[in-house]
Amino acid sequence: MAVLEITNLHVSIEEKEILKGVNMTINTGEIHAIMGPNGTGKSTLAAAIMGHPSYEVTEGTIFLDGANILDMAVDERARAGLFLGVQYPSEIAGITNAEFMRAAINARRPEEDKISVMNFIRKMDEKMAVLDMPEEMAERYLNEGFSGGEKKRNEILQLMMIEPTFAILDEIDSGLDIDALKVVSKGVNEMRGKGFGALIITHYQRLLNYVTPDVVHVMMNGVVVKTGGAELAKRLEAEGYKGIRDELGLDV
């Protein structure tokens, strides 16, 4: 079992404090969701975990299995088993989807254990079939000219190919139609298991109808104000954030 442990995390962007002491512990085998109003710091948390240089951690720690990842560069964090799936993936011309994913898989493996071309192709075919992706997408340049829905499927394909220990999925559901949402959910559900943990960031309960979270966190104004089970997401859907604000006496 692996643990991702975030303690008293404070993060600033351009001197402005956005995260004001976030605490969260995710174990492998668990799927956590963070919900919260726009501008509350959800993407900032994702960026800080992954090590985006514009986000300055001013206080706190993030430990992945005993190592403080705040001391690691972005690529080291990826090699340590972290994965970030984003709302707006970059388009990269000149490198195909397949080349990118093979390099990403091999970056996490020692020299004597690189994935063979045959095994790679077999795995990619299998995962693309799960996600209803046409085979030709393997040979297209990374995300170039992909529709919004195709980009999100491709993020999930990367997730399934790279098999990280922990994935942070930032609004991977936004803008998806119901069929694409189901496909994306299927991919995440296939990853579920003892060796995998996820933090799903979403505005809406909709995705959580398909990927049932073990733990739901509500974030407001840069802190986690409430943590509960899957029923908390349902309550938010019914009451909006007002119910939580009233309950906790918050005026944010």
- For position 136 contacting ligand ADP by CB under 6 A, the verdict is no
CA distances from 100 to 82, 139, 163 (A): 17, 10, 14
Partner whose binding site includes residue 14, from Mg ion, ligand ADP, none (CB under 5 to 8 Å by kind): ligand ADP
Burial class (CB in 10 A: 0-12, 13-18, 19+), 175: middle
Residue type, 102: R
Contact call for residue 165 and Mg ion (CB under 5 A):
no
Site string for Mg ion, 31-70 (x = CB under 5 A): -------x---xx---------------------------
What residues from 46 to 65 belong to the interface with ligand ADP (CB under 6 A)? 54
H, E, C per residue of 67-116: EEHHHCCHHHHHHCCEEEECCCCCCEEEEEHHHHHHHHHHHCCCHHHCCC
Q: How far is the CB of 107 from ligand ADP (least distance, A)?
A: 27
Token pair recorded at residue 89: 């993936």
Is residue 40 near ligand ADP by the rule CB under 6 A? yes
By beta-carbon proximity to ligand ADP, the closer residue of 41 and 81 is 41
Cα dihedral 131, 136, 142, 145 in deg (nearest 10): -100
Q: Return the residue of 24, 28, 36, 64 that touches ligand ADP, per CB under 6 A.
A: 36
Q: Do 18 and 12 contact (CB within 8 A), yes or no?
A: yes
Residues 141, 120: Cα–Cα separation, whole Å: 18
- Cβ proximity to ligand ADP: between 100 and 241 the closer is 241
Among the listed residues 9, 24, 30, 44, the single contact to ligand ADP using CB under 6 A: 44
In single-letter form, the type of residue at position 193 comes to G
Nearer Cβ to ligand ADP, position 133 or 199? 199
Q: Retrieve residue 223's tokens.
A: 């802190």
Tell me: does residue 28 bind ligand ADP (CB under 6 A).
no
Dmax over CA atoms of the chain, in Å, equals 58
Cβ closest to Mg ion, residue 43 vs residue 158: 43
The answer to whether 13 contacts ligand ADP (rule: CB under 6 A) is yes
By the criterion CB under 6 A, which residues form the site for ligand ADP?
13-14, 18, 36, 38-44, 54
- For Mg ion, the binding residues (CB under 5 A) are 38, 42-43
